[in-house]
Structure 1
Amino acid sequence: MDGEKIQAMRDEIIGGNIERTLLKLAYPLILNNMVQVLYNLTDTFWLGRLGREELSAPGTAWPLVWFFMSIGMGFATAGFAFVSQYIGAKKYEEANRSAGALYSMMMLFSAFVAFFGIIIAPLALDFMNVTSEVYPYALSYIRIIFIGIPFSFTLFAFNFLLRAVGDTKTPVKINIFTIALNIILDPILIFGWFGFPRMGVVGAAVATMFSNSIGSIIGGYLLFKGRVGIHLTLETLKPDWDFYKRIFRVGLPSSVGFSTDALGFVVLTRVIYAYGTVAFATYTIANRLTNFMFAFANGISQAMGTMVGQNVGAEKYERAKEIAEKAMFTNFIILSVGTALVVIFRPQIFSFFINDEAVLAESARFIKYFAFSLPFFGILAAVSNVFQSAGHTKKAMILGILRLWTLRIPLAYSLGLFFNSTVGVWLGMGLSNLLTALVALAWFLRGSWMRRIIDH
């Protein structure tokens, strides 16, 4: 690990101007998120040219894919907490060993996930009550994505590790390259341009898998060559069962939280499909739009996580709290402005993706009954990030379960029946964001998260 480089980053994060440092760390992440959203929008645009069934396939597949990926994400979050707090405490060698243990753990775990995911995919789609028109497209998409899961996991690990040390620029450069490659490959493989076979939905999946694989290989090369703040070696990659236990202890609640969150979206997909393909196509496009707004808010939250993790490691708890509060306020303003723009330009935005009168009509109901909750979800996401970065992953897990299983799914299902319409589904989803955000803010202000984990 490059001690001088890491020390300089640490000093700025621990003692520098909060707003300036937050912006410095956030802007590459925002740029990265924007490019990712641009890819998602491009993907939606091209598949929308094929029809509403093809457009719905990735949206149907991703809750299941995300369920498995989120288990690994939980352990990556734990690794992030350890590495960032060790750096905050100036324990650089421990940070390097933690990074190696996390990377090797992710490689082992991802192989199992890929194998199991391919086998279980048909059963999961049956459970989600996917319409017969969408089913074959979704199944083909899922299987291709699962083949590339090991590369996705190690790319996650690379991003988390560099963000933990305060390097938000290097992962962004790699991600922008891979996403740009994905954007270029999408129409070529979907429509069979330049002599390639016309692959349709499968082409979109192959483009995603191939691009992630290239990004993972580049990230691994930089880590093993010591070109970034962390230097992995065969020695640091050797299984460290004692540290695996520590990652497991801290990461398990986070994995449970992320995976139950993702499983909740699998169930929610079933609820929405009860109202037909039009409802789910509308939901798929709306998800892309909310992701666009959250490109900014998530960038702020991720940068905040780096600063909170290192300040908690240095036992500067009041500074960590101040950083979090400023990030939350910024997110609320950003998402309020973004929501207002979507409300105003809704017809033009939705009709850009698909020329379908039924989807356009449904989008009016979605925006009317759900959009109000987005600024509040920005607060919830920031609080969850604070808890995870501080290593208090059980708190984040509880918030995730509260939002989806206690509130969103029961409300969306019951209000859908009450109104006998998607109005109830969209309203239930919105209320779950609002109510959980209020609980999260109250819990954050109590300050029980202001205790580091590396001494235990």
Structure 2
Amino acid sequence: MSVRERVGSLFKDQSELDLTEGAVGWPLFFLSFPIVITNLLQTAYNLADTFWLGQYSTKALAAISFAFPMVFLLISLGMGLSVAGSILVAQHTGAEEPEKAEYAASQTVTFSLIASVVLGAIGYVFVGDFLQFLGASPDVLWRAEAYMQVISLGIAFMFGFFVFVSLMRGYGDTVTPMLVMFGTVVVNVVIDPFLIFGWGPFPTLGIEGAAVATIFSRALAMVVGLGIMFRGNRGVQIHLSQMRPDLDFFKKLLKIGIPASIEGTGRALSVNLLLYVVGLFPTTVVAAFGIGTRVFSVIFLPAIAVARGVETMSGQNIGAGKPDRAAQANDFAAKVMFGVLAVMGVVIFVGAGPVVAVFTDDPEVVEIGANFLRWVAPSFGFIGVMRAYTGGFRGAGKTMVAAAISIFMLGIVRLPLAWYNTQFAGMDQTGIWVAFLVSNVVGAIVALLWFKRGTWREADVRDDEAAGVPSDD
């Protein structure tokens, strides 16, 4: 077998996958592995910014430590619609209702793009006030605000691609988004330093250059992704004739999507509010926190990918009337992710210093960041468990349950504990790192116990006759 054939064998087209029959392990692997690569490539956007801006200045690095969580917040506020669309596409696909899946996808694109324009305008106007509220120092504030204003103007492009990824995943095609992402990441990585440092004919834009490179690359990804869905030769197809806003269907999307937005927004708000606590410490701590969270974004990629795979498998199997198979996929994913991430935790614990040193040559930042990684690394396996089961809840349409678990973990455990440790228990920034460790363990236990209650088994959010969805009969 040639190298090309070996690489190709790792990926399966949706037509080669049957998510509702046979063993769950290999279908889940073939569904999730491209998502790992896609998310790794997506993280490359942030890592490229972190790396090049780290070379540019420590203040610029601290600025994106404030900016990234706000990007996450804006996206989370609107991404519930794409999650709802993905769930509906998955359940209609599992129930062998392709026309209804296509209608759901078309309407999801429409309302997600409308939401992105509104959120981008809000973000552009209020970004400065929000960053100031978080405690960004004056020399960091203007840099973070400049970055976020560019991102806000182009956030519709980011939404467009994320919707493409979500809808294709609901159908069961995770390979096509991976290939599109690869091409646009190459563009981003190449032009990033040219715009930041002013190489060649380009002006020196600094932190704004990193934002421009990201938006330009996302725009390319969105155009390609929408083109693929309009053609319909891969994955779910969308139709211009079905994209006129259907307010009844919008209510249906909101019913499923609002809890998903609450989950994502809760995560984003907790990170932003945690930055308020982090911002009480020197800039070196803020920079170290930013590097640490970027490292986590890479380490947790397998768990996030498997959670998305479980979401799709759960949705399709529940649509096909097979909840036991959905449960089997959830349990299998939780066990595998616990083992994989536990091993990765050992690796990061041992090599924490060199990992942080990749992003900065400031010895104080390296020391603080390494300490952060060592505290959190032992809890990596628990993140895998929580992600697997919350993915199952979302696939079943129980988006409010997934939201409740995330909000409890982050808003009830992590944030208050970090505040207490640093403000009342006499701890330095280590109190924040301890809060990460404790909340990861607690989140996994709560997700496991809630899933074993089995209240998700009867979930089915298709409502075949609702909201003007065309009949397949």
What is the TM-score when the length of structure 2 is the normalising length? 0.92
TM-fit CA distance, 1:173: 0.6
Structure-2 residue corresponding to 1:421: 428
Q: 1:292 aligned to 2:298?
A: yes
Note the alpha carbon deviations across 1:315-365, whole angstroms, 9 max, x for none.
211111111111111111111111111111112111221111211221243
CA pair 233-455 structure 1, distance change in 2 beyond 3 A: closer
CA–CA distance in structure 1, aligned partners of residues 303 and 259 of structure 2: 24
Cα deviation, 1:295-333, whole Å, max 9, x if unaligned, reads 222222222221111011112111111111111111111
Alignment of 1:7-18 (within 5 A): 8=15, 12-18=18-24
Aligned to 1:153: 159
Q: 1:112 aligns with which of 111, 118, 121?
A: 118
Contact 1:162–1:171 (CA under 8 A) maintained in structure 2? yes
The answer to whether the Cα contact below 8 Å between 1:6 and 1:229 also exists between their aligned partners in 2 is: no
Provide the residue aligned with 1:261 in structure 2.
Answer: 267
**Bigger mean CA deviation after superposition, 120-129 or 61-70:** 61-70
Tell me if structure 2 keeps the 8 A contact 1:121–1:139.
yes
Q: TM-score, length-normalised on structure 1?
A: 0.95
Q: CA deviation at 1:33?
A: 2.0
Q: What SS is found at the alignment partner of 1:454?
A: coil
Q: Given residue 166 of structure 1, which amino acid in structure 2 is its aligned partner?
A: G
CA gap 1:65/1:416 in 2 versus in 1, 3 angstroms: same
Q: Aligned partners of 1:375, 1:6: CA distance in 2, in Å?
A: 30
Q: Is it true that 1:222 corresponds to 2:221 in the alignment?
A: no
Structure 2: distance between partners of 1:65 and 1:363: 22
**Alignment correspondent of 1:436:** 443
Question: 1:191: which partner in 2?
Answer: 197
How far, CA to CA, are the matches of 2:461 and 2:419 in structure 1?
Answer: 42
| Separation in structure 1 between the aligned mates of residue 69 and residue 304 of structure 2, nearest angstrom | 19
Equivalent residue for 2:37, pick from 24, 31, 35: 31
Deviation at 1:230, TM superposition (A): 2.2
Choose the corresponding residue for 1:454, options 461, 464, 469: 461
CA deviations 1:152-209 (Å, max 9, x no partner) are 1111111111001111111111111111111111111111112111111111000001
- Matched residue, 1:337: 343
Higher helix share: 1
Tell me by how many angstroms 1:27 deviates: 1.7
Structure 2 CA distance for aligned equivalents of residues 214 and 194 of structure 1 = 23
- Give the distance between the partners of 2:98 and 2:14, measured in 1 at CA: 9
Distance in 2, matches of 1:322 and 1:303, equals 13
Contact 1:101-1:238 at 8 Å conserved across structures: yes
Contact 1:83 1:165 in 2 (8 A): yes
Aligned-partner Cα distance in 1 for 2:13–2:91: 13
| CA distance in structure 2 between the aligned counterparts of 1:131 and 1:432, rounded to whole angstroms | 28
After superposition, residues 304-343 of structure 1 pair within 5 angstroms as 304-343=310-349
Output the CA distance in 2 between the equivalents of 1:366 and 1:196. 37
Q: Which of 85, 89, 92 is matched with 1:79 structurally? A: 85
Determine what percentage of the aligned residue pairs are the same residue: 33
Number of the residue aligned with 1:274: 280
Aligned residue pairs, count: 451
SS state of the match for residue 440, structure 1? helix
Report the 3-state secondary structure (helix = DSSP H, G, I; strand = E; otherwise coil) of the residue aligned with 1:221: helix
- Determine helix, strand or coil for the equivalent of 1:160: helix
Give the drift of 1:37: 3.0
Q: Name the SS for the 1:439 alignment partner.
A: helix
Residue 102 in structure 1 maps to residue 105 in structure 2: no
Query: Residue 389 and residue 455 in structure 1: after superposition, are their counterparts in 2 closer, same or farther (change >3 A)?
Result: closer
| Pairing 1:233-272 to 2, within 5 Å after superposition | 233-272=239-278
Q: Where in structure 1 are there 5+ consecutive unaligned residues? A: none
- Structure 2: gaps (5+ residues): 1-11, 464-473
Give 1:260 shift: 2.2
Matched residues in 2 for 1:89 and 1:9: separation? 18
Per the alignment, residue 185 of structure 2 pairs with 179
